[in-house]
């Protein structure tokens, strides 16, 4: 469920005006609220990132929604407040801030600590497969390790130029669908979600990337309201968190829509529903790729006869399987039986 993206520097950040209109007002509010002001002796970008990281660690924040550690989280927030790219040159770590800028950074750090919201919900931006996405609390913060395999075109199973139909089930922000449209040059992508709120965010991202002719959004409970088509690639990062695992998640996850995380008691209900139906929608040489995170163990235990290929990742992550169309079809009755069909 939690791997990483890091803000990419291939595209300029800073399209939106600074979130904090008047840093002087913010400073006054920070003091009035009794929040910690940045100590006078800390003056540079590097000082503030280090100070923020120390405060985040001391406050026991959890990471994994796009960054893996307190330093990167502090840097993301600082860059947002100052309209800088995440990967600014190290030389600038010694650059000083104005008083207003210090106040803006401080207020954002304080909000991160007080609210426990992942940084992406404060900046309204997350990066996935090298692309920026608008996000808010209607969608999960994009972080599937699948990004790495989308960038590689799922070779050797697929030949990227040959792929013309892709389906992304449970699209959320649209990150996987849009990344597929960006990396498979000839592919039209259908994407579904059961949440109208999530689809509104996905629509915003489709427009942002000018992919209206290539990515088609459907409100659908999995396959239910989809036209019957044959896809060479079906991808999904469905909800797969079990009830027990859900209870133990850090506060940061509670800002995400529960429908995006929680499946059923075991975490497998949506996963098995997809497995039971995907065979009808795959071309002969098609593949199904699905993230199941920590539910990998339970899935293998419940279906020992299924020849899942578990993908490996260079950038970290686990819990993503691949099945070829013939394998999905051979096992379809096993999955249907598990659903009591
Ligand atoms: C784990 S989030 C994944 C979002 C996005 N694909 C990503 O990787 O960031 C799961 C998404 O599945 C949607 N969802 C949950 N149950 C669904 C269902 N039965 N049919 C379609 N979408 C569903 C949720 O609304 C949520 O947006």
Q: Is residue 11 part of a domain?
A: no
Q: Which tokens belong to 12?
A: 């300029």
Q: Is 237 in the pocket of ligand 1 (CB under 6 A)?
A: yes
The answer to whether residue 55 scores a pLDDT higher than 60 is yes
- Give yes or no: residues 53 and 157 share one domain: no
Domain contains 85: yes
Given a cut of 80, whether residue 26 has pLDDT beyond it is: no
Q: What are phi and psi of 40, to 5 degrees?
A: -50, -40
User: Is the beta carbon of 338 within 6 A of some atom in ligand 1?
Assistant: no
pLDDT higher than threshold 50 for residue 34 = no
195 CB within 6 A, ligand 1: yes
pLDDT of residue 36: 66
Q: Would you call 90 exposed, middle or buried from its count of C-beta atoms within 10 A (0-12, 13-18, 19+)?
A: exposed
Q: What is the DSSP string of 29-94?
A: HHHHTTPPPPPTT--BHHHHHHHHHHHHHHTT----SB-SSHHHHHHHHHHHHHT--TT--GGGGG
* Domain identity same for 29 and 96: yes
Judgement on whether residues 298 and 208 belong to the same structural domain of the protein: yes
When pLDDT is cut at 50, 70 and 90, the band that residue 218 belongs to is very high
Q: pTM value?
A: 0.90
Please give the residue that has the higher pLDDT: either 143 or 31: 143
In this structure, the answer to whether residues 184 and 91 fall within a common structural domain is no
Q: How far is the CA of 237 from the centre of ligand 1 (A)?
A: 7
With tokens 């790219």, the residue in question is 85
270 lines ligand 1 (CB under 6 A): yes
Domain count, the chain: 2
Per the prediction, the chain carries an average pLDDT of 90
Note whether residue 3 is domain-resident: no
In a domain, 12, yes or no: no
Distance CA 225, CA 192 (A): 9
Range of the domain at 274: 130-338
Tell me the CA–centroid distance for residue 195 and ligand 1, in Å: 8
| Ligand 1 centroid from CA 311, angstroms | 21
- Cβ–ligand 1 distance for 262 under 6 Å, the answer no
Res. 83 pLDDT band, cuts 50 70 90: very high
Answer yes or no: is the C-beta of 150 below 6 A from any ligand 1 atom.
Answer: no
CA of 1 to the centre of ligand 1 (A): 12
């Amino acid at each position: 469920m939690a791997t990483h993206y890091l803000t990419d520097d291939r595209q300029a950040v800073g399209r939106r005006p600074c979130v904090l209109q008047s840093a002087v007002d913010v400073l006054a509010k920070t003091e009035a609220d009794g929040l910690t002001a940045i100590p006078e002796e800390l003056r540079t970008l590097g000082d503030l990132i280090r100070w923020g990281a120390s405060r985040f660690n001391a406050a026991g924040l959890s990471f994994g929604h796009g960054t893996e550690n307190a330093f990167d989280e502090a840097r993301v927030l600082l860059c947002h407040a100052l309209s800088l790219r995440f990967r600014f040159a190290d030389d600038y770590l010694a650059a000083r801030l104005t008083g207003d800028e210090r106040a803006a950074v401080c207020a954002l750090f304080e909000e991160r600590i007080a609210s426990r919201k992942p940084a992406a919900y404060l900046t309204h931006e997350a990066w996935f497969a090298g692309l920026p996405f608008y996000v808010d609390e209607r969608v999960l913060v994009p972080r599937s390790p699948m990004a790495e395999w989308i960038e590689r075109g799922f070779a050797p199973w697929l030949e990227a130029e040959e792929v013309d139909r892709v389906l992304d089930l449970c699209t959320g922000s649209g990150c996987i669908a849009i990344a597929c449209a960006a990396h498979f040059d000839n592919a039209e992508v259908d994407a579904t979600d059961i949440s109208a709120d999530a689809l509104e965010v996905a629509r915003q991202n489709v427009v942002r990337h000018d992919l209206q002719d290539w990515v088609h959004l459907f409100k659908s409970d999995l396959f239910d309201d989809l036209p019957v088509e044959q896809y060479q690639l079906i991808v999904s990062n469905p909800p797969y968190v079990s009830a027990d695992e859900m209870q133990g998640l850090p506060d940061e996850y509670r800002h995400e829509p529960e429908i995006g995380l929680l499946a059923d008691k075991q975490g497998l209900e949506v996963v098995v529903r997809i497995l039971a139906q995907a065979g009808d929608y795959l071309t002969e040489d098609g593949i199904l790729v699905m993230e199941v995170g920590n539910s990998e163990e339970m899935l293998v235990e419940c279906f020992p006869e299924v020849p899942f290929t578990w993908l490996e990742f260079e950038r970290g992550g686990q819990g993503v399987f691949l099945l070829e169309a013939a394998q999905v079809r051979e096992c379809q009755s096993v999955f249907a039986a598990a659903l009591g069909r």
